[in-house]
Amino acid sequence: MKTIGLITAVALLLAGCDPLSVSPGETDSNETTDRIGYGGRLFDMWYDEVGIDFVPDNPETPLADGRGGPNGDGTLNDAAGLPLLNNGHSYRFKNLFGWDMRGDAGIYGHEYQAKEFVLPDGPLSTENADITRAEWIQRITSGAGSLPAYNDVLSPAQIEALVDYMLAVRDGSLPHPDALYTLSVDSPKGFVLMPGGDPALGHAFYEAQCAECHGDDASKIMFDNGEQTLGMHARYYGYAIAMITLAGEPGSNMGPQLDPDLSVEEQTTTLLNLLAALCDRSRYPRGNATDPEVPDNDPRCGAYLR
């Protein structure tokens, strides 16, 4: 997946015109959903969500040349208090652990997208299945191995919300990656959507939640410098669409887009329905996008591809 260009553009992605406004301090009936969604946005792009003046140092240059952070140069420190240069992860948890939180065994690992910056394991790795909430909080606060220390840039409450999001996915109170897609070495981005989604229900969700801003055919808002429509992005990177729909978009007023009263099974089904619908190239076409459309028989959408 592209990094900076994609992340900037995805601020518009699935931004329903009537989003669930969220704040980590809310105490209404949506408090748990709001807080977990906040943690998910921190997992995605914490410095956009927090609104901190932090620009990661450029991984293409030998010296740290970013802005902000404990050293003032766009780096974070390791557990020993020494700067960790950015090797492409940009200090984002979704890069360090992968979108599916499995580290090198997951979608960003050497068998799939082969991201050099992904850590060996993550919250959903088998070897971390029994790691407690307190230990994850400690690791992220103080650093561990190549995982930076975030205590200089995130508050204890923010770190707790982040950990609670990760563990909610791990422990099954939020949709699990395994229920949405399977990993595949034969797929261009390493994934294939799971069967069982209902495109008709996905179209209905899109019409209710997304169409007012994105248009009936999802081409009203172009992003990544005009490279893709929303539909194309879903066909390219369905796993990212699922998480953004679930948690919201960092740095925007877009919060979780699913009804907080849905069970985890219903949330999973709703996400899969939406992804299935957006695999329809006729209903959600390429339009004037500059990226090529996914070809016939592209495996990412599986049987949903139209």
- 80-134 pLDDT, tens digit per residue, is 999 999 999 999 999 999 999 999 999 999 999 999 999 999 999 999 999 999 9
**Whole-angstrom Cα distance, residue 300 to residue 236?**
7
Contact 165, 174 (CB under 8 A): yes
Whether the CB-CB separation of 77 and 91 falls below 8 Å is answered with no
Helices 133-142 and 156-171 pack at an angle, to 10 degrees, of 130
Positive/negative CA dihedral, 114, 12, 294, 258: positive
Given a cut of 60, is residue 20 above it in pLDDT?
A: no
Query: How far apart are alpha carbons 287 and 34 in whole angstroms?
Result: 35
Q: Would you say residue 23 has pLDDT above 50?
A: no
Report yes or no: 256 and 268 within 8 Å, Cβ to Cβ: no
CB 169 within 8 A of CB 123: yes
Specify the residue for token string 């076409």.
285
Is the CA virtual torsion 69, 255, 212, 285 positive or negative?
positive
Confirm whether 136 is domain-assigned: yes
Q: How far apart are CA 169 and CA 229, in angstroms?
A: 28
Query: Is residue 279 in a domain?
Result: no
Give the separation between CA 293 and CA 232, rounded to whole angstroms. Answer: 7
Does a structural domain hold residue 249?
A: no
Instruction: State the DSSP H helix or E strand holding residue 9, giving kind and residue range, or none if neither.
Output: helix 4-9
Quickly state the pLDDT bin for 253 (edges 50, 70, 90): confident
Task: List pLDDT tens digits, range 202-247.
Answer: 999 999 988 988 899 989 878 778 898 989 999 999 999 999 999 9
Give a yes or no: residue 225 inside a domain: no
Which residue segment(s) compose the domain that 138 sits in? 23-173
pLDDT tens string 258-271: 988 999 999 999 99
Count the domains in the chain. 1
The pLDDT value recorded for residue 1 is 35
* Distances in whole angstroms, Cα of residue 203 to Cα of each of 200, 214, 272, 282: 5, 13, 11, 13
Q: Considering the chain, what percentage of its residues have pLDDT values greater than 90?
A: 78
Mean pLDDT of the chain: 89
Whose tokens are 């429509």? That residue is 229
Residue 4 has pLDDT above 60, yes or no: no
In a domain, 11, yes or no: no
Q: How far from the centroid of its chain's Cα atoms is residue 81's Cα?
A: 28
List, as one string, the DSSP characters of 246-273.
HH--TTSS----S-TTS-HHHHHHHHHH
Per the CB < 8 A criterion, the answer to whether 120 and 128 are in contact is no
Instruction: Let me know: does 106 contact 183? Beta carbons within 8 Å.
Output: yes
pLDDT of residue 93: 98
Residue 62 lies in a domain: yes
pLDDT at 64: 94
- In the block, which residue shows the tokens 């261009």? 188
Residue 240 is assigned to a structural domain of this protein: no
Burial letters 27-36, b for 16+ CB under 10 A, else e: eeebeebbbb
Asked if residue 161 is part of any domain, the answer here is yes
**Closest by Cα among 28, 50, 29, 51 to 39:** 50
pLDDT band at 249 (very low <50, low <70, confident <90, very high): confident
pLDDT above 60: residue 68: yes
Angle between helices 264-278 and 238-247 (to 10 degrees): 130
**Integer Cα distance of 228 and 219 in angstroms:** 8
